[in-house]
Amino acid sequence: MSNALALRAESGGEPLPKKAYTMALLQRGMEKNSIPQARLQALHLALHRAAAERAAQYTRGRSMTVTRGQAEAFYISVLHQLDAALLSYGSDAAAEEALCAEDTDALLAKGQTCILQCYEEAKDRFRRAYQLTKPFATYFFRELLKSFAQFTTEYDARFRSDAVKVDEVYPLMAGRRSELPGVLGVHAYYSALLLEGELLAMFEKAQIHALMKQYAKRYLTSWDMIAESIADLVLRQWLCRALLLDSAPELDLPADAAAVLTERYRQVPPAQIADEMRRAIAESVIAENAGVCAYCTDAVPYFAETLHRRVTENNLRGWISPAGEK
């Protein structure tokens, strides 16, 4: 459920922003007058009750006075809980209906369950992603371990769910960034890392290592200091090979690949390049893993656009690593 939740939210199909989703729904509801006043009042009371519970937990029951900043953090934490519940409905209309019709305490309980599930899934996904990516782990990927350790031991210890995040020192494929707040954002990031790890597992280790060394040599660095997503390097190399040759899970490109691609795609619009890339993905071993297939397909417009731009600028050589490149 949660992976679909994160991917669906990330696909950008919903008009309302995912960050502060509940506040956005309330704002729109008040503007359209679609949320009754009595319902708003009930919602306020429920938010207050939940925040008061957090205040009691925060001070270990020894004081009911907190600073204004901390009180805001409690309400934000409660709203994040509601965000998690309402985002799971999949559409703004369904979420608004749930906000109006469902019992608020039940919504909060559902949100809490979503959040706890996200937290546990996030931990599990990062651990699996780490094991899959370990043979190709750069310095930046290994740095994720420290913020992961902090995330698992100090998660939401002080109800500052806005501050629950990890340092995204390792970039994702196609420049993706998570828009979701708190633990939902962390879950989305680690889920993406797992999908990238599963993508890397579809190719031979030796070929990926060779690609990384070639790339590092071109940019005068060492292979473990590559600051890009390794899955990004691998997928762009494979897509170019698939456009030229076939859809086998191989990464070796002929020596004249850059010239041939430039000649072939100079006049081709990015949309057409994207169609060919999607076909290649659908016919390859990547399609056997639905999650990885969807993840790569979502990134196709980015790769098609970049390929088109580089071909137009006659600058493809820096983007891929043909055989025999010095």
Partner 1 sequence: MDFPLLFTEQLAALAPARQKAQVLATNRAAMGSYGIQLTPDEAAMIVAAGREAVRAEGLVLFGGGITPRLIRWFLPSGYLAGNRYAQNIAALTEAFYRLRGALQELYDKSDDPDCVLSDNALLDYMYRFYTSPQCAGDVDEMVSLAERILIPAMRRLLAKRAEERSAGGSHYGTDSELLYADSFAEMREPTDLEREAWAEDFDQRYRAAMRRDVFGQYEADYVEDPADRFRGSDAEELERMLLRNPELLLPSESQEAEWADMVEKWEEEDAQDE
Task: Determine contact, residues 58/66, Cβ cutoff 8 Å.
Answer: yes
The smaller minimum CB distance to partner 1, of residues 48 and 279, is found at 48
Point out which span in 155-163, 199-207, 237-245, 286-294 binds partner 1 (CB under 8 A): 155-163
Nearest of 121, 120, 98 to residue 21 by alpha carbon: 98
Nearest of 183, 175, 36 to residue 111 by alpha carbon: 183
Angle at 225 between CA 224 and CA 226, to 5 degrees: 95
Point out which span in 50-58, 92-100, 102-110, 288-296 binds partner 1 (CB under 8 A): 50-58
Place of tokens 């008009």: 15
Q: Does 165 bind partner 1 (CB under 8 A)?
A: no
Q: Does 205 bind partner 1 (CB under 8 A)?
A: no
**Distance, CA of 301 to CA of 278 (rounded, Å):** 9
Point out which span in 59-67, 90-98, 202-210, 263-271 binds partner 1 (CB under 8 A): 59-67
State the burial class of residue 286 (Cβ atoms within 10 Å of its Cβ: 0-12, 13-18, 19+): buried
Q: Does 181 bind partner 1 (CB under 8 A)?
A: yes
Residue 185: partners with Cβ closer than 8 Å, 6 or more residues away: 165, 178, 179
The smaller minimum CB distance to partner 1, of residues 80 and 236, is found at 80
The smaller minimum CB distance to partner 1, of residues 19 and 28, is found at 19
Q: Does 326 bind partner 1 (CB under 8 A)?
A: no
Task: Determine contact, residues 253/317, Cβ cutoff 8 Å.
Answer: no
Q: Does 146 bind partner 1 (CB under 8 A)?
A: yes
Q: Does 177 bind partner 1 (CB under 8 A)?
A: no
Nearest of 237, 201, 221 to residue 139 by alpha carbon: 221
Q: Which of 13, 32, 62, 324 binds partner 1 (CB under 8 A)?
A: 62
Q: Does 127 bind partner 1 (CB under 8 A)?
A: yes
**Distance, CA of 97 to CA of 208 (rounded, Å):** 49
The smaller minimum CB distance to partner 1, of residues 20 and 216, is found at 20
| List of residues contacting partner 1 (CB under 8 A) | 19-20, 23, 44-45, 47-48, 51-52, 55-56, 58-60, 62-72, 75-76, 79, 123, 126-127, 130, 142, 145-146, 148-150, 152-154, 157-158, 162, 181
